[in-house]
Amino acid sequence: MTSTWVEPSNTATALLLLGRGSDPATERGVECPGDLPAPSDPDLVARAAAAKAALGTKVFVLGHHYQRDEVIQFADVTGDSFKLAREAAARPDAEYIVFCGVHFMAESADILTSDAQKVILPDLAAGCSMADMAVLSQVEKAWDVLTDLGVAQDTVPVTYMNSSADIKGFVGRHGGVVCTSSNAKRALDWAFEQGSKVLFLPDQHLGRNTAVLEMGFSLDDCVLYDPHKPNGGLTPEQLRDAKMILWRGHCSVHGRFTLDSVNDVRERVPGVNVLVHPECRHEVVTAADYVGSTEYIIKTIGAAPAGSAWAVGTELNLVRRLALAHPDKQIMFLDRAVCYCSTMNRIDLPHLVWALEELVAGRVVNQITVDPDTAHHARVALDQMLALPGADTPPPTTV
């Protein structure tokens, strides 16, 4: 699962996110070894339904909450990344797991499912900008820095679920744990029982928000490690004194929400409830009324009284779906600008139809596999997360 990292140009990155071009520095690509149906094909829905019916119980389709509606309609289960991976593992009779999400999610499904099951990602270019901000070679170099300073033995690595299998494997090899946005506090509580400091990967905002707002740390207890700078851009004293070493990574969707967005919606909509994901910036989270994972956001909106107004800071596909599902409430996107997860949206109906029809024809395409050594150590870190107290009942977060 390792690859040589080449810093892409701004233009190349922009084109890739827009669905044009490819990323030759990784295993991902955009070419399909066959004919991709045209988006204008009026029979796409019927073709997807027919292919899925022909495969029957051999196929299990997973749809992430941020996925397009045209794809979600064919999902057997919807949910966040970890829930979907566990759902796949709970279907041992399904030979094919078609994961309508992004690359790291499909990796997690491959790690948790049996060797007999094949995990398929309809478009290999459906990646995650946050996960790609932590490359194994960079993290290993950072660990070398901590080792040279004599603090690595006191440091516990914790990685967010939104990370590559390589990073999960690194964390497992070094006695760490994986976390989700729901159980980040429990994971950090456990980590600080093992050591005196944490290297938190790859989302700086989730790490900072959890440490400061839920655990009582100060902002001064947190330092930001930039892998593109010598020693992360930090002095030895800063690294030695820090309790939370936050990786310089973020979600391209949640990171765009600003304090101005919150202030603007409060001025426009009196009495509005601001509900955001903990991947948002610290100043946005502290200004919000409610903060929680994607599942928490869905449950909060569902339980809200009729007539209430909600400005939601998360991916637009989900916000639109919530608004349609709850017409008795005023539900709006926190930011005035449209903000889809561009890489998640690479998986569209043509790619799903193509993948399913190839399976019907007996051809397995776009299979995601994690090498056994990486999978073993990643599973160690995932199992440690599952062993956390209260792992099955993640608490909501409010501020």
Across the beta sheet with 367-368, what order do the strands follow?
Answer: 77-79, 59-64, 96-100, 118-120, 367-368
Q: Which two tokens stand for residue 134?
A: 């932590």
Coil, strand or helix: which one is 321? helix
- Residue 321's contacts (CB-CB under 8 Å, 6 or more residues apart) are 65, 69, 72
**What's the DSSP call for residue 349?**
H
- Tell me how far apart the alpha carbons of residues 279 and 258 are, in angstroms, rounded to a whole number: 12
Q: Which two tokens stand for residue 179?
A: 């976390």
- Tell me how far apart the alpha carbons of residues 171 and 185 are, in angstroms, rounded to a whole number: 17
Q: Which residues are annotated as a binding site for [4Fe-4S] cluster?
A: 128, 251, 341
Coil, strand or helix: which one is 111? helix
- List % helix, strand, coil for the chain (3-state, nearest 5): 45, 15, 40
- Tell me how far apart the alpha carbons of residues 29 and 27 are, in angstroms, rounded to a whole number: 7
CA atoms lying within 13 Å on the CB side of residue 258: 6
- Tell me how far apart the alpha carbons of residues 342 and 127 are, in angstroms, rounded to a whole number: 9
- Tell me how far apart the alpha carbons of residues 19 and 7 are, in angstroms, rounded to a whole number: 19
Q: Which residues are annotated as a binding site for iminosuccinate?
A: 64, 81, 160-162, 181, 277-279, 294
- Tell me how far apart the alpha carbons of residues 320 and 68 are, in angstroms, rounded to a whole number: 10
- Tell me how far apart the alpha carbons of residues 101 and 352 are, in angstroms, rounded to a whole number: 11
- Tell me how far apart the alpha carbons of residues 139 and 127 are, in angstroms, rounded to a whole number: 19
Q: Which residues are annotated as a binding site?
A: 64, 81, 128, 160-162, 181, 251, 277-279, 294, 341
- Tell me how far apart the alpha carbons of residues 368 and 351 are, in angstroms, rounded to a whole number: 15
- Tell me how far apart the alpha carbons of residues 386 and 41 are, in angstroms, rounded to a whole number: 44
**What's the DSSP call for residue 324?**
H
Q: Which residue has the tokens 């919606």?
A: 265
Four-residue CA torsion sign, 118, 120, 124, 126: negative
